[in-house]
Structure 1
């Protein structure tokens, strides 16, 4: 019998992975900063073509919301970069969730929905698959 479950994926931080993540965050930060500069330029250009204060206010509000959204993303990326630099090599970091297909046969131990399955990856290879159950009081078994 096949059984589909959601599993957490954790990655062991290596020097290469840390460098890769840092470069990715830097690229995203550069992109967001560029987008913000382009939006500010577009806002100024749009305001020059507007004839009434009412239109001007609407355009300004629209661009302001988008700029705020990108500013939040920029701050988040800067925070992630700070957090990444504080992490030491060998640290487990969450890398999301994935669906896993369990192949069950008669006599296998049943994996309940309360059982947390974690796949640990290092350098693109599965290092470990963990199972843990939570009791009613929230403690691990």
Structure 2
């Protein structure tokens, strides 16, 4: 029988992966800033039409902009932490779903504890039983 199980993927921090993560964080930050700018532009555009209540409109847009600014602060924190981590550190990258074969007689605890995949510079370096 096969079951679906969540598997954690961790990335080993190397010079290459640090650069890639830093670039990814920077790109996400820029995208969020563009979204903030776009929201402010849309708010001004809608204010000119005067079809909506100015207070309600402003509150909704301010909420959306604030959400993005919080995400930007989180990304700034992640960039700062990335700079402080030593090479060789393992960073949780993502969780994926995997099919696992189970049979009568298998240890249930071993199956539910799952596995962790360790990736180093895009290559699977290790598969660990938790």
TM-score (norm. length: structure 2)? 0.82
Distance between the aligned counterparts of 2:100 and 2:3, measured in 1? 5
Output one character per residue of 1:45-97: Cα deviation in whole Å (capped at 9) or x when no partner: 3223327xx71111111111111111111111111111111112111011121
In structure 1, runs of 5+ residues without a counterpart are 133-141
**Alignment partner, residue 64 of structure 1:** 62
Task: Map 1:44-123 onto structure 2 (within 5 A).
Answer: 44-50=44-50, 55-103=53-101, 110-112=107-109, 113-123=111-121
Partner residue in 2 for 1:124 = 122
CA radius of gyration, larger in = 1
d(CA) in 1 for partners of 2:53, 2:3 = 57
Give aligned pairs, total.
129
2: CA distance between counterparts of 1:46 and 1:55?
10
Instruction: Tell me the residue number matched to 1:136.
Output: none
Contact preservation (8 Å) 2:5, 2:114: no
Pairing of 1:3-82 with structure 2 (within 5 A) = 3-50=3-50, 55-82=53-80
Structure-1 separation of matches of 2:7 and 2:41: 45
Q: TM-score under structure 1 normalisation? A: 0.77
Higher relative helix content: 2
**In structure 2, do the counterparts of structure 1 residues 49 and 8 end up closer, same or farther at CA, with 3 Å as the change threshold?**
same
